[in-house]
Structure 1
Amino acid sequence: MDKLRDFLKSWPGRILLVLCLSPLALLGVESYFGGSTDPNQIAQVGEASVGLSEYQTAVNSRRSEILEQLDDASLLNEDVLHTQVLKGLIDRTLLEQQAGKLGMTVSDDTINRLLRREQIFQDANGEFSNVQFANFLRQRGMNKEQLFAEFRNQLSLDQLNASIVGTAIYPMKAVNQLIDLQLESRDIWLHRFNWQDYESQVTVTPADIQAYYDANQDKLKSDAMVDLAYIQLSPATIQIDEVTEEELQQQYEAYKQGLAVVDERKLSQILVTGDDAKARADSIKARLDQGESFAALAKKESDDPSGASGGDIGRFNPSVFGSDATAIETALQGLSVGEVTAPIKTNFGYQIFMITEDNGSQIPSMDSMREELTAQAKEYKRQTIYADKVTAINDLAADGFSIEDIAQQENVALKRIEDYRKDNNTSVLSQPSVIKQAFDEFTIQDQAVTSGIEVGLGTVWAQPSNYRPTQTLTLAAATPVITQTLLKQKASALALKDAKQIAANIKTVADIAKQPVDFQALGEVSRQTTLLTDKERSLAFSKQAPEDGVVALASETEIGASVLVGDRIETARQSQLSDNEKAQTAAIIRDNLGQDQLQDYLDYLRLVYKVEINEANMAGAQVQ
């Protein structure tokens, strides 16, 4: 299958796999269980309609699918999304009506048999369960008749679809011919004539410009543009202070919680209070160091009720010690069972602890994880500050502050893009979501700051000004564009003339070196080569060379003109694909042809059933 995948990535393979929005994308099983018809119509299709709620549900579902595949949500083009979803819903409605008109239906017995096979309705023994079936209907607010009607409609739709898509024919002979094309190769010699080299030899007169303008005036339009001021914020730009021990402790506790374990150390303590607490604690610690029993000293010296039981306080729980937890945790680090801490000054007095049991030795100590915890604490702090800053900027934008005021108040760099285009946008903010908000009618009208737009790993806020709508260019405004276009056309014509003269003089490989221009020897190339431009690639295999010579071909190309010299076209004797892979390739081709047939059939149905779109409801749904 690797060879099949490689083929499908090749030049003919890509031709076969042109992606299109198929109405089948909206013919899924989830449609069996849709709700009632929405009285607010998006479109009237014959005698049926597409409801507002149905449309919004489909948009949300499709958006979620796309966003799962995108790393940057700002790359989603909402206008295209809404257009494609509406087309899919209309296509489905057209097919549903046609299926009904053709009498395509399914009996109750067939539906019963299919439903009994559905796993969702089966019990633990794989048998159909009336209880589960009833629960399913109750959860969806449907009765059996409604479910059968939806199921029958879907199956009828599937029948009609299969009768169109499944009838596409593409013989294996044609498949083999396509495969042979991508196996073709030949030696190529190339020389390119750049049109700029001929620019000084041509002139463009006012009459030429006027004639071009008169013939192409409808195409000579300015781009819709604004001047854009914007600020951009990302977590990476947030500066943070050093993290505290308390913040490290929080990350450590979160780490332990993530492991679903608790601190298994059991402790005993001796607490001493009063004015002489420090001196008493030091004396007790000295006696412990000399080998006296911790439990005995706790009973005799501790001012805490736990002293009666030898100081036992159970498992270590940081929350019990409040602000003293970090100091105690630090003192306990590295201690083994039976070892004692130095006296610790806490809010209770002076405390001495001994670890009596430790069943949590598998948990790394906080000190051993300090570097990792520090990085996590910094990132948590950075993300928190970033989220707070995004909220603050959004609030300022909603309150009507200008982008300049927001940038100054939040200490964020203000950036500008002049002539920010609605179409053919190649700026640093070319994402569809940014363009959509920058050219929003109300944003332009109020010259308001947009809400935060998520772009990659950050957020952008923009304020458009000086809006210039699309309009037909005047002759004066169009003259520079026309002049450049005509210069290239005339210069390319001269380049092509020279290219043809060179090509006419080449009959053999030896003739290549006799020409007044240098040729680049590309060696053996195939139709998938990246050494040639698109036009050159199509030219390179357009004509076979004679048995004892080469063929020289000249053509106008993207850069001016090119001469390609090729020897005999050879085809690999044996296909790289197995018979099974060829059959799968044929199936892919037939499916694509079937989809084309389906689109043709839908175009026909649009002539049969009147389709009217409610533009007002459509516009309202798109802004939600």
Structure 2
Amino acid sequence: MFDFIRTHQRLMQLLLLVLILPSFALIGVSGYSTYVSGDHDLVKVAGSAITVQEFDQARRNQLQQLQQSNPGGFDPSSLDNEPARKALLESLIDRRVLVLAATKERFNVSDRTLRQAIASIPELQVNGQFSAERYSDVLKSMGATSKDFEQSRRAELSIDRVLGPVAITAHVPKPILNSIEQALTAQRTVRLRTYAAADYAKDITVTDADIKAWYDQNPQKLKLPEQVSIQYLLLNEAAAMQGLPATSTHDLQKYYEQNKAHYAQPARVMLSHILISVPVGATDAQRETALQKAQQIAKEVAADKSNFADIARAQSQDAGTAKEGGRLGWITKGSWPATLETAVFALKKGELSAPVDGPGGYHIFLADDVQPEKIQSFDEVKSKVETEVRRQLAADHFADMATKLTSLVYDNQSSLQPAADTLGLKVKTASGIARERLLPADEIGDGAAAASPDAAVLGDARVRRALFSSQVLVDKQNSGVIEISPDTMVAVRVQKLSPAQVPAIDKVSSLIRQQLLAERSLAAAEKAGESALAGFEKEAAAKVPDGFGAPLAISRINPQGLDKQTIDVALSASTQSLPVYQGIKNAQGYVVVRIEQASAGKSDNPLLATLPTELSQAWGHAQENAVLGALRSESKIKMLPEADKALAGEATQGG
């Protein structure tokens, strides 16, 4: 059962959404209408209540779902704040409002609709078709019954009928659509002159006094968070291979003989071709005409095969290969459709095929060279065999080491050394690990985790979470074995806890110097750009000043690689008297924009083909929110005192 769950994680997440999460799934629409409130209510919604117990369960489910979908990159602390808790509570309120509306209006779905909805779930299909066997296996693996699942799906579909029709029927009025299309396609012809901050850096001087002054004035910008220095044991494929004994030539030869077919080099043929194309949806007459032309060309080539390349250049309708004389190169058996392979692998070197009906039309193939299937000798693949054997041995060794590592780190809670000695691993060290991130190596110095080859492992949210747990941080014990991936495990312990602090000036002087240099270079570029802008505005309008680039025709839908800030400035500038100049400060320096021409937008641009659909979806979403807002107003939502405690993160009585 556990293997099934591991190999069908996406499906398991789907079923969690449907069967487990009370904040997003139901056991029945009517269940909420007859809900009996607990003693600790958070919110009243039209006589119904959202309780502390329900809120706590929703938080646990939310955490579980995010951990499953982001095993290495999700940090639970990102949910441990008031905005996240408030967003979750609001989602529960919205859900309750929709449930009550569906109950009041007696929304329901037919058995046929329910069957169609379940059958359309891709995770319950095999080869694109609903599989009753897959459905049964999935429910069994979850310990759920079909009645539970179908009742939940029916409830979900019923609730969807509250807002679903709103989005489906949303339509953006034509005048609004036209206005948006014209705004997106309105065009300006511009030239740019850039004053890059980097060009002014050589003239900037930053003294030690400047660095000291900045250091004294900006301690909060330099403050490093609480961090730990650690010891750790890393078990991965490389570590498992370290302790392997040498593999004898006899064993390698034995493995080679047992797996000789694995070292076969498939047959291949070097081909050239001439294509006479057949359009998609061609009539029988069109296909016959193409075939006759192909047959005539084949006859011409057969008369003198040395002319194949010239004929291909002149008559092949495969533009990609025609200019190369029809050359396709080596084709390996098993890489083409069976109908084509049957034809081309029947050819001997120098032979020409009859026209073959294939993708795109009729193909005439010439076999420039043919190589039959070949079994590589042991000597040819010895190094490859050795690598494969050692990896298989390492996999077995890894499994054994992983089992022992788990026991050893628990049996010797105060040190990782016994586990290292027993398994032949090295106790490694690293520093500069904070709760939220690995601190930059240039701020930490030697031994920084961020500069370690194992940085990806040490920066994993699960590792950081373990390091700041009470067991590891306060009790000074080993962590448990943390599985980063199926072939990577780590155990950690804290050596030293360093409080939040401002590093000494000698540790950050180079960083401060770089920042001051960047700030002053940017200021110099801005000053030069503004001065030039004032001069450009006084010059003759028709003359393009030196330093400006080639003209670019830009619009919001076709920005030509320019950033949004530049596009906004160009399109918002007055075009009554052109050319006109505008200046923009950005992170790299200063840009002067010369706007030379302006033209109105058009609504027939092919790039706008999907715009009506996208706008209708956005419009529908906005209307859904409006309807939901109206339903919330009618529901007389009342926040109770217990809600303030829950949002503040105080311990709840129902959890």
Specify the TM-score bucket, using the shorter chain as the normaliser: 0.5 to 0.7
Tell me the amino acid that sits aligned with residue 431 of structure 2.
Answer: E
* Map 1:106-121 → 2, pairs under 5 A: 106-107=105-106, 111=108, 114-115=110-111, 117-119=113-115
Q: Output the aligned Cα RMSD.
A: 6.1
Tell me the amino acid that sits aligned with residue 380 of structure 1.
Answer: Q
Displacement of 1:424 after TM fit?
5.3
Partner SS state of residue 496, structure 1: helix
Q: Are 1:505 and 2:535 an aligned pair?
A: yes
Displacement of 1:480 after TM fit?
9.5
Displacement of 1:400 after TM fit?
1.8
Contact 2:102 2:161 in 1 (8 A): no
Name the structure 2 match of 1:463: 493
Contact 1:222 1:470 in 2 (8 A): yes
Displacement of 1:502 after TM fit?
0.9
Q: Are 1:402 and 2:415 an aligned pair?
A: yes
Name the structure 1 match of 2:400: 388
Query: Whole-Å Cα distance in 1 between the matches of residues 614 and 570 of structure 2?
Result: 26
Name the structure 1 match of 2:596: 567
Contact 1:252 1:366 in 2 (8 A): no
Name the structure 2 match of 1:76: 74
Partner SS state of residue 26, structure 2: helix
Contact 1:99 1:157 in 2 (8 A): yes
Partner SS state of residue 505, structure 1: helix
Query: Whole-Å Cα distance in 1 between the matches of residues 180 and 483 of structure 2?
Result: 44
Displacement of 1:82 after TM fit?
8.1
Contact 1:450 1:462 in 2 (8 A): yes
1:419 to 421, 427, 432: 432
Partner SS state of residue 413, structure 2: coil
Bigger mean CA offset, 494-503 vs 150-159: 150-159
Name the structure 2 match of 1:192: 195
* 1:177 to 1:449, Cα distance in 2 relative to 1, 3 A: farther
Tell me the amino acid that sits aligned with residue 434 of structure 1.
Answer: V
Contact 1:226 1:468 in 2 (8 A): yes
Contact 2:181 2:608 in 1 (8 A): no
Provide the TM-score with structure 2 as the length reference: 0.52
Query: Whole-Å Cα distance in 1 between the matches of residues 155 and 621 of structure 2?
Result: 25
Displacement of 1:452 after TM fit?
3.4
Name the structure 1 match of 2:127: none
Name the structure 1 match of 2:474: 445
Partner SS state of residue 494, structure 2: strand
Displacement of 1:554 after TM fit?
1.9
Displacement of 1:421 after TM fit?
3.3
Name the structure 1 match of 2:228: 226
Displacement of 1:574 after TM fit?
3.1
Tell me the amino acid that sits aligned with residue 458 of structure 1.
Answer: T
Partner SS state of residue 585, structure 2: strand
Tell me the amino acid that sits aligned with residue 613 of structure 1.
Answer: A
Q: Are 1:32 and 2:27 an aligned pair?
A: yes
How much identity, in percent, do the aligned residues show?
Answer: 14
Query: Whole-Å Cα distance in 2 between the matches of residues 159 and 55 of structure 1?
Result: 26
Provide the TM-score with structure 1 as the length reference: 0.54
Query: Whole-Å Cα distance in 2 between the matches of residues 189 and 42 of structure 1?
Result: 64
Query: Whole-Å Cα distance in 2 between the matches of residues 618 and 388 of structure 1?
Result: 44
Query: Whole-Å Cα distance in 1 between the matches of residues 210 and 622 of structure 2?
Result: 49
Post-superposition CA distance 1:393-428 (Å, at most 9, x none) = 333332225346655554445544432233454632
Tell me the amino acid that sits aligned with residue 26 of structure 2.
Answer: S
Query: Whole-Å Cα distance in 2 between the matches of residues 57 and 487 of structure 1?
Result: 49
Name the structure 1 match of 2:247: 242
Gaps of 5+ in 1: 1-21, 68-72, 123-131, 256-363
Q: Are 1:613 and 2:646 an aligned pair?
A: yes
Gaps of 5+ in 2: 1-16, 119-135, 263-373, 441-449
Bigger mean CA offset, 461-470 vs 380-389: 461-470
* Map 1:108-257 → 2, pairs under 5 A: 111=108, 114-115=110-111, 117-119=113-115, 157-158=159-160, 160-162=162-164, 171-180=173-182, 183=185, 184=187, 186-194=189-197, 197=200, 200=204, 221-236=223-238, 238-239=240-241, 240=244, 241-242=246-247, 244=251, 248=255
Query: Whole-Å Cα distance in 2 between the matches of residues 245 and 479 of structure 1?
Result: 58
Name the structure 2 match of 1:13: none
Contact 1:232 1:460 in 2 (8 A): yes
Displacement of 1:568 after TM fit?
2.6
Contact 2:163 2:627 in 1 (8 A): yes
Displacement of 1:151 after TM fit?
8.2
Tell me the amino acid that sits aligned with residue 94 of structure 2.
Answer: L
Count of residue correspondences: 461
Displacement of 1:590 after TM fit?
2.0
Name the structure 1 match of 2:92: 93
Query: Whole-Å Cα distance in 1 between the matches of residues 533 and 593 of structure 2?
Result: 8
Name the structure 1 match of 2:615: 586
Partner SS state of residue 431, structure 2: strand
